[in-house]
Amino acid sequence: MKYLPKLQQLKVFQQVIQSGSIRGAARAMNQSQPAVSRTLRELEQILDTQLIVRGSQGMTLTETGRAFSQRMQFILQELERAADEIQQINQYSQGSVAVGFSSLLALTIFPALASEFAAKYPQAKLHIKETQLSTLLPALREGRLDFAIGTLGPGLPIEDMVVEPLFNAPFCIIARKQHPLALATSLNQLKEASWLLPETDMGYYQQLAALLEEHGCHAGQSPIRTDSLISGLMMMLNADYLSVVGNAMATPFFLEDKLCRLPIDSLPNAQYCLVYSQKTPLTLTARRFLDLLRVHCQRFAW
């Protein structure tokens, strides 16, 4: 390749993909259709390949177009992050940070952490994604998240990630207070229970499902998987489902004494780790947030 693509060519190609047509891209970028078509042809000539196919059913990406678009999106996002960080360093702005984590952090350290971060950096923007780590990995790789916190386990594809242990958290089983199994003292007594678990087969809950299966509980085959706190609470309160949460989450869950913790102490602890891409250096704002996060994790009595 004699020349590399120009930034404007990448932006035009990105807009064509987002708009689904050259006409839509031209309208969105306030350019003429011939100008957008010309820029797209120039990009194809530089890459020596056809990126899109125009037909009666609209525009579709070729195989090389799909491959190039994935890397192009990463390049454009990194350029935006670089410009954002320069602004942060020059103190024109305090930037933004995007982080993902599970409900355990949302119900424990996050309120105080977010308040302290906002007090120290009032102009910074904070974007939160609440779900399991396995769901967050694609966003990490695509640069849509700065970092994530979650539990690791066999089969989790993290070879391209930096991993830093943060804390260990004990877990417990919770149920409606008048649940027929509320006084169970062993996993063997829960063989007929209905389970509601997070939407993942990896990390801590993979280890937990294997343990429950060993005791005859069929939690791994549970027909209901969700990361929604509201859905989980309703199923526990109104349909007698059991769930497993961190001990630190149990107290917020005890709404008006309607839920209880089963007296079973045989669940393993979960190790929570910080995870971020090896390819994407953390911005100044992300590093500031992370410094506060480490302090709050150390202070909290998990």
Residue 92 has pLDDT above 70, yes or no: no
- pLDDT for 208 equals 86
Q: Do the Cβ atoms of 236 and 176 come closer than 8 Å?
A: yes
β-partners of residue 261 are 174
**If you ran DSSP here, which 8-state letter would residue 122 be given?**
T
Q: State how far the Cα of 204 lies from the Cα of 242, in Å rounded to an integer.
A: 17
Q: State how far the Cα of 197 lies from the Cα of 207, in Å rounded to an integer.
A: 12
- pLDDT for 240 equals 92
Whose structure tokens read 């602004």? Answer: 87
Return left, alpha or beta for 6; rule: phi > 0 is left, psi -120 to 50 is alpha, else beta: beta
Q: Mean pLDDT over residues 49-73, rounded? A: 87
Q: Do the Cβ atoms of 274 and 164 come closer than 8 Å?
A: yes
Residue that wins the pLDDT comparison between 119 and 155: 119
Q: Give residue 124's pLDDT band: very low, low, confident or very high (50, 70, 90).
A: confident
Tokens of 301: 């009595």
* Single-letter amino acid code for the residue at 239: A
- pLDDT for 242 equals 93
Q: Give residue 201's pLDDT band: very low, low, confident or very high (50, 70, 90).
A: low
- pLDDT for 90 equals 61
Buried b (16+ CB within 10 A) or exposed e, 251-282: eebeeeeebbbbeeeebeebbbbbbbbeebeb
Q: State how far the Cα of 183 lies from the Cα of 181, in Å rounded to an integer.
A: 5
β-partners of residue 195 are 242
Instruction: Please count the other Cβ atoms lying within 10 Å of the Cβ belonging to residue 104.
Output: 24
- pLDDT for 222 equals 60
Residue that wins the pLDDT comparison between 201 and 147: 147
